[in-house]
Amino acid sequence: MFKGSLVALMTPMRADGAVDEDAFAKFVDWQINEGTHGIVPVGTTGESPTLSHDEHRRVVEIAISVARGRVPVIAGAGSNSTAEAIELTRHAKQAGADAALVVTPYYNKPTQEGLFLHYTAIADSCDIPVIIYNIPGRSIVDMSVETMARLAKHKNIVGVKDATANLTRPLHTTRACGKDFVQLSGEDHTAVAYLASGGHGCISVSGNIAPRLLSQMHVAWQEGRTADAMAIQDRLVPLHDAMFCETSPGPVKYAASLLGHGTAHCRLPMAPIAESSKARVRAALTEVGLLN
């Protein structure tokens, strides 16, 4: 259903902090023209924690409008409040998204049974494919493979964005959830290794900056050109490193600004990245061949 290079879209903002809707629309169109296989608005990279609900909905609607069915749109719809996650997931369905990406509840630290009940409530309330977003580094809680297998039995729960960087996880997930359960890496460095372990694609941060290269990498893998995929992976290592030299999306928004895609502005509490980090990002873009 979903595979290849999907991009966790940043949300461009003007210098005054308002969402730059025009820049975002142009950015989505550029992504698709560069070969991106799917777009994911208002995830972590899209600064969803600091967008208002109205802004959140508007960004999803713009992404769907610009995509025009050319690629799937997986709308971020998670919250640590189940009722709020249901509301955002219903909006994703009404707006025409192809799926909703729902993060494990942060701060609350629910038990595995709490996770099961949370996702079941969302999937029961909204007739749209739901992708679990498991990112213990940000949400603290880690969904077990056993809990995921229970949830995979629900007709609306179709896959996972796995940001654990644990390359044994897709092996166990395939065994527990079946080969049709969509597994998307959430970690750029290990994307090819994740594919080799049974994954279907990657929801990428670096894809904001190098969409064509990442698309080519996934196509090469799908076509059995393993050496070509690995060569692109190796080329992109400096970029992946730079995109996480500080907390995302600070570095990626600065990189995008260098390429003419909006400003580097992030909303507080995300601070502007340090001058040393700016130098590192610029150097990486130059080394990879994205900036002269």
Q: How far apart are CA 133 and CA 104, in angstroms?
A: 6
CA 181 to chain centre: 17
Q: How far apart are CA 19 and CA 1, in angstroms?
A: 31
- Residue 105: asked if its preceding bond is cis (omega within 30°), the reply is no
| 278 catalytically annotated | no
Check 119, 133, 194, 254 and give the catalytic one. Answer: 133
Provide the 10 A C-beta neighbour count for residue 75. 30
Q: How far apart are CA 241 and CA 145, in angstroms?
A: 28
Check 93, 161, 253, 278 and give the catalytic one. Answer: 161
| 106 catalytically annotated | no
Continuous segment of H or E residues that includes residue 281 = helix 275-288
DSSP designation for 246: S
Q: How far apart are CA 263 and CA 257, in angstroms?
A: 5
Continuous segment of H or E residues that includes residue 184 = strand 182-185
Active site residues: 133, 161
